[in-house]
């Protein structure tokens, strides 16, 4: 019975460690390296930083690097969960272990060995599965007292039966008490559930740094979101084009993009990008002039083009009354609205904004349904911050916060009795991630943010914030169930064995089954729902 229980235990442990084995399987064994002008195949472990490698279609990328030449699409789903292949061109970053799909390219190794993203992920999962939660330490302390107490009870039962004149029954009771009280179930209650929970998180693209993170995440009351790059796309895009004169929307965008082609401003880049996406041919601009704090001007197709704010148009004596209603509406929505003029007359408006990620509203709504307060924390202006918050249904907004003050805001919330998680992606979020009860870093964010976060979301999907909290709650629920049944089992079994009602053979079977029940109950955690509509 004991051997059968141990055998089943090992099977379930192996299944629980499947996430780590899957990650290890991603590591390619060899790499094609160019050394002294000759392409050669070498063990992937021997690649050095700065070396140039060649990757053909269908091959795994051997290490992290940057594309030098060539174009391809790379399947990064094994690490990011993103089903669509990612296009790679010169300058693009590539991740070791991902699969090259279409083209041949050369890239330079930037991180090798234990420094690669894959190696760090594997280490993080292994460390988390091996870590000890506070609840486990409590169980260990209980076990330290439990063992001598059980031995004492066993001897008392033995001497009691012997004194009553039944030595054989005393010996059987002594053995039965020792067997039934074997604290295997107590010892397995926490690590078994943690191993399964961390493994399930890794499979879902949620990397948990340690058992204590899961334990703290269960108690969260407040989640604070950074705005830019976390809830929004992180780069401005054209959201509205309003025609107010004879020119069409397409003509307004084409001329505005032509003028902005000479600018390096992020808003200008967004306008040029929008024109390119619509495959508009951009004419050459002449007489380009940037007017600080106002806008830009130039001649396009022999027409005088103007793009900027109200001050620029007032300076040129151009009436913008017709645009005022639309401008106020767009600005109230948190967008940057720019006036477009042609040949001294108002032509239209181009609005640019950092748009919300498609899944942001669903994530916020799901957190609120879980009873968690959501706060928006941003360095952006009040108007834009409140416009974004209104779209998401967030009522608590803290705007115009300097990067150094974010950590102080988190501490203020904690002093108010709240258990706070900070979700961010940038270097400026790192101090806040560090002081929060739980720091949750977006996978596409900076390395500093990811190093500081207790939880890393590989897939850049803010819905995984909800999934990580649900996972922690489900894991802690399993741990408590395991400990409850382990204590109940011993509380009932020991007196029964001491009173002589339990044969040692049956006690051995019961002990094995108790351990097995804890393992099986932990394995059921794999069926926990982390997202709506998924198992």
DSSP 281-341: PPPPEEEEEEETTTEEEEEETTEEEEEE-HHHHHHTT---GGGHHHHHHHHHTT-EEEEEE
Token pair for residue 97? 């272990």
- Yes or no: say if 393 and 368 are a contact pair by the CB < 8 Å rule: yes
- Yes or no: say if 99 and 136 are a contact pair by the CB < 8 Å rule: no
Of 163, 55, 38, nearest in space to 100 by CA? 55
Catalytic hit among 226, 380, 437, 464: 226
Of 452, 244, 443, nearest in space to 351 by CA? 244
Annotated catalytic, 226? yes
Of 307, 306, 299, 235, nearest in space to 273 by CA? 235
Q: How far apart are CA 94 and CA 110, in angstroms?
A: 10
Token pair for residue 232? 């929004």
∠ Cα 466 472 477 (to 5°) = 125
Which secondary structure element, helix H or strand E, spans residue 506, and what is its range? helix 504-523
Which positions ≥6 away from 501 have C-beta within 8 Å?
Answer: none
Q: How far apart are CA 461 and CA 188, in angstroms?
A: 33
Q: How far apart are CA 295 and CA 260, in angstroms?
A: 10
Q: Please, what is the angle between helix 184-203 and helix 2-16, to 10°?
A: 20
Question: Which positions are annotated as active-site residues?
Answer: 226
């Amino acid at each position: 019975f004991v051997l059968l229980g141990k055998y089943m235990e090992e099977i379930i442990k192996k299944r629980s460690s499947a996430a780590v084995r899957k990650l290890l399987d991603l590591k390619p064994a060899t790499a094609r390296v160019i050394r002294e002008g000759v392409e050669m195949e070498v063990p992937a472990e021997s690649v050095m930083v700065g070396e140039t490698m060649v990757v053909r279609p269908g091959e795994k990328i051997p290490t992290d690097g940057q594309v030098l030449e060539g174009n391809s699409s790379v399947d990064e789903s094994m690490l990011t969960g993103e089903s669509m292949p990612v296009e790679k061109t010169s300058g693009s970053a590539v991740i070791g272990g991902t699969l090259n799909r279409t083209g041949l390219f050369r890239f330079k190794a930037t991180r090798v060995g234990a420094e690669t993203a894959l190696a760090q992920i594997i280490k993080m999962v292994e460390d988390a599965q091996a870590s000890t939660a506070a609840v486990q330490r409590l169980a260990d302390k209980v076990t330290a007292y439990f063992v001598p107490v059980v031995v004492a009870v066993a001897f008392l039962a033995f001497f009691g039966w012997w004194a009553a004149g039944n030595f054989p029954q005393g010996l059987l009771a002594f053995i039965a008490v020792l067997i039934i009280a074997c604290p295997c179930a107590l010892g397995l209650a926490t690590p078994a559930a943690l191993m399964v929970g961390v493994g399930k998180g890794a499979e879902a693209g949620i990397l948990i740094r340690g058992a204590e993170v899961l334990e703290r995440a269960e108690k969260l009351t407040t989640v604070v979101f950074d705005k830019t790059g976390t809830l929004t796309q992180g780069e401005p895009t054209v959201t509205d084009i309003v025609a107010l004169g004879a020119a069409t929307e397409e003509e307004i965008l084409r001329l505005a993009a032509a003028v902005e082609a000479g600018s390096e401003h992020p808003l200008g880049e967004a306008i040029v990008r929008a024109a390119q996406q619509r495959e508009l041919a951009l004419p050459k601009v002449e007489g380009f002039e940037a007017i600080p704090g106002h806008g830009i001007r130039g001649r396009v197709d022999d027409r005088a083009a103007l793009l900027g704010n109200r001050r620029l148009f007032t300076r040129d004596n151009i009436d913008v009354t017709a645009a005022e209603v639309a401008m106020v509406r767009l600005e109230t929505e948190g967008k940057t609205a720019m006036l477009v003029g042609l040949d001294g007359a108002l032509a239209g408006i181009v609005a640019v904004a950092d748009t919300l990620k498609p899944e942001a509203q669903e994530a916020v709504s799901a957190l609120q349904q879980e009873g968690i307060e959501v706060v928006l924390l941003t360095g952006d202006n009040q108007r834009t911050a409140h416009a974004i918050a209104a779209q998401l249904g967030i009522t608590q907004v803290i705007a115009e916060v300097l990067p150094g003050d974010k950590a102080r805001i988190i501490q203020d919330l904690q002093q108010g009795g709240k258990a706070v998680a900070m979700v961010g992606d940038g270097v400026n979020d790192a101090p806040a991630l560090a002081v929060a009860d739980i720091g949750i870093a977006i996978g596409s964010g900076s390395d500093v943010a990811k190093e500081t976060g207790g939880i890393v979301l590989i897939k850049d999907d803010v819905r995984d914030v909800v999934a990580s909290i649900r996972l922690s709650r489900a894991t802690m629920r399993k741990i408590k169930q395991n400990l409850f049944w382990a204590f109940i089992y011993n509380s009932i079994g020991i007196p029964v064995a001491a009173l002589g009602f339990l044969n040692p053979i049956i006690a051995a079977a019961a002990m094995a089954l108790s351990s097995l029940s804890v393992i099986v109950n932990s394995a059921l955690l794999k069926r926990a729902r982390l997202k709506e509509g998924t198992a």
